[in-house]
């Protein structure tokens, strides 16, 4: 690895697994260094060509919902020490926003999302691959609380979506990517030992 190449860390796991907590814990340690988080959620495909009713049918837990080519292109740019314009996804209108976020290249790039380990081309860009593995009952409880409190959803609608989309997609696409992980972190952000080990490993690579 060249001295100059940024370290790329992939952090995957199901919805509500705690991957964002793990990401934030690592970010906090390296924020004095130079670290950027790229959320896969921002890379949902642009759907402006579809009618609003059609956009409502989008299955956000399927690999094809993501513009993975754009994400890979952006990671390669950051690896080449070039800045990118990270897209923003507007969930209210179910398509990409007109605005973007300017991101400067950094020494540590964290890719976080439910399916960041699904595409081989993306995996090959990563130095460390993590999978945050949390029991399904905890994940559904976290998702319920989040969607009801933060997104104004009803209990019935969250459960219905979980049973018809989230759970089958998790079993079909997310869970199988666990095999690609270098490290599997049980219980997400509460696992301080695993996070400390990760931080130590990243420091070693950076040095």
Binding residue positions for ATP: 13-20
Binding site feature residues: 13-20
CA of residue 91 relative to chain centroid, distance? 16
| Residue 31 CA neighbour count, 13 Å, CB half | 7
Ramachandran category for residue 18: left, alpha or beta (phi over 0 → left; psi -120 to 50 → alpha): left
Measured distance CA(24)–CA(123) in Å, rounded: 21
| Longest pairwise C-alpha distance within the chain | 52
Closest CA to 170 of 52, 26, 17: 17
Cβ within 8 Å of residue 70, ≥6 positions away: 43, 87
Supply 31's token pair: 């924020």
């Amino acid at each position: 690895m060249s001295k100059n190449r940024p370290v790329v860390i992939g952090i995957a796991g199901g919805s509500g697994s705690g991957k964002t907590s793990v990401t934030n814990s690592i970010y906090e340690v390296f924020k004095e260094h130079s670290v950027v988080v790229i959320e896969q959620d921002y890379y949902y495909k642009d759907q402006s060509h579809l009618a609003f009713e059609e956009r409502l049918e989008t299955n956000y837990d399927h690999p094809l919902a993501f513009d993975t080519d754009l994400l890979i292109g952006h990671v390669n740019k950051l690896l080449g020490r070039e800045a990118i314009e990270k897209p923003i996804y507007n969930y209210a209108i179910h398509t990409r926003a007109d605005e973007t976020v300017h991101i400067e290249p950094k020494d540590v790039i964290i890719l976080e999302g439910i399916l960041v380990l699904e595409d081989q081309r993306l995996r090959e860009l990563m130095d460390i691959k993590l999978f945050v593995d949390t029991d399904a009952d905890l994940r559904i409880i976290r998702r319920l609380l989040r969607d009801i409190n933060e997104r104004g959803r009803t209990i019935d609608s969250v459960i219905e979506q979980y049973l018809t989309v989230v759970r089958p997609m998790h079993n079909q696409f997310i869970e199988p990517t666990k095999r690609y992980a270098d490290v599997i972190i049980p219980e997400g952000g509460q696992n301080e030992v695993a996070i400390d080990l990760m931080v130590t490993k990243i420091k070693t690579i950076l040095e």
